[in-house]
Amino acid sequence: MFDLEEIRRRRKKLGLTQKELAKLVGVSQPLIARIESGTIDPKLSLVKRIFEVLDELEGKKITARDVMNSPVIYATPETPLEEVMEIMMEKGISQMPILKSGRVVGSITESSIIRALLSKGKANKLKAKDCMDKPFPEVSPSESVDVISKLLLQNPAVLVVEDGSIVGIITKQDVMKIMK
């Protein structure tokens, strides 16, 4: 997964000393030296942190803030389903969070709407709460696209939250755009 020999090569390419890299990672210089020389087997979390720092310095790290869509369009549990469907078609979106009093309480997707229509009847009699699924996972604006991509394998969207407020939403399509 991670090639420890790559640490020295990338550090030198960036013109960093072991001491400078250690400071950026939050560890001691002797620890960096031992990792580079292969005399210790570091924890995976430390190796990941070193590579994150190197990625940031090389300008490779793409974060949630870089790919999110903002402002986030949302519904409340009481929003009529016809209105939700109209908004989704008008905005060209396939899912949205459901908020109550500023808190995320669920989500609604094209699939959950179709399920509800098949089992519960006409849209004009239903509200968003009648087709609500579990909330989308939440990440910070600084979360890496790698982590977000893994969350999107199991979820239709990921919410970006900062200081308790939703600041963005990311879908599979957003990640595909940056990976092409």
Domains parsed from the chain with CATH numbers: 5-57 (1.10.260.40), 65-179 (3.10.580.10)
How far apart are alpha carbons 108 and 131 in whole angstroms?
Answer: 7
Q: Say if CB 147 and CB 153 are below 8 A apart.
A: no
Please report, rounded to a whole number, the percentage of residues in the chain having pLDDT higher than 90. Answer: 67
User: Can you give the pLDDT at residue 5?
Assistant: 85
User: Can you give the pLDDT at residue 154?
Assistant: 95
For residues 92-103, give the mean pLDDT. Answer: 95
Q: Say whether pLDDT at 99 is over 90.
A: yes
pTM of structure? 0.67
Q: Which of 83, 59, 62 is nearest to 131 (CA)?
A: 83
Q: Say whether pLDDT at 121 is over 90.
A: no
Q: Which of 74, 96, 115, 89 is nearest to 158 (CA)?
A: 96
For residues 17-43, give the mean pLDDT. Answer: 92
Q: Please give the residue that has the higher pLDDT: either 113 or 3.
A: 113
What mean pLDDT, rounded, does the chain reach? 91
Q: Say whether pLDDT at 1 is over 80.
A: no
How far apart are alpha carbons 172 and 156 in whole angstroms?
Answer: 7
User: Can you give the pLDDT at residue 180?
Assistant: 58
